[in-house]
Amino acid sequence: MTSTLPPTAPPSGNAPRADATAQTRETASLFKHCVSTMAEMLEGSRMEILETTESELALTNDAIREETNNIYAELNALRTMSEEQDTLRQQLVREMAELREELRVIGEEQEMLRVHGPTEIKMDLGNLGMVEVLTTTPGDKRVRMHPLDGTIHANITM
């Protein structure tokens, strides 16, 4: 590159020194130009890096948002399933309580039937002369017994 500095008039008597000064000025100018070019390149690279980083951050943010939405959807599904299971559990508890009550009632009924139900009665009768069966109404029969000598001997076992 060429120097953008104005040409200087050669000094009188100090030509090598003037050449050195001109050369130093030209070197300084080249150095400034290189530094400014590098600064522009660095600024461009920095901007490119910032833009790339911003786009990557936006993509990452979108991915995180999508994963968060998926997690919330799964949590809502689990809550719904938990509520359904809780409802079913409560229904099962109610049905079990009803069954327990029915079993208790059946047990009481069976106990009543055992205590008050038909019982087997055995009778041993002795000294009978005659037995009559009388029908008073349909389904109602009565028995009349007549002893041989005036007394009936009976043993009743339940």
pLDDT digits (tens, 9 = 90+) for 36-76: 888 888 888 888 888 999 999 999 999 999 999 999 999 99
Q: What is the pLDDT of residue 136?
A: 75
Is the domain of 31 the same as that of 78? yes
* Cα–Cα distance for residue pair 132/142, rounded to 1 Å: 8
Domains in the chain, number: 2
| Residue 117's pLDDT band (cuts 50, 70, 90) | low
**Domain extent at residue 52:** 15-90
pTM of the model: 0.40
Is the domain of 79 the same as that of 136? no
The torsion region of residue 79 among left (phi > 0), alpha (psi -120 to 50) and beta comes to alpha
Q: What is the pLDDT of residue 61?
A: 95
- Name the more confident of 101 and 128: 101
Q: Is residue 37 part of a domain?
A: yes
| Residues 102/139, Cβ–Cβ less than 8 Å | no
Burial group, residue 147, by CB count within 10 angstroms (0-12, 13-18, 19+)? middle
Residues 72-95 have pLDDT tens digits of 999 999 999 999 999 999 999 999
- b/e per residue, 26-45, with b = 16+ CB within 10 A? eeeeeeeeeeeeeeeeeeee
Mean pLDDT of 120-134: 71
Is the domain of 75 the same as that of 141? no
Q: Is residue 126 part of a domain?
A: yes
Is the domain of 80 the same as that of 127? no
- Name the more confident of 102 and 147: 102
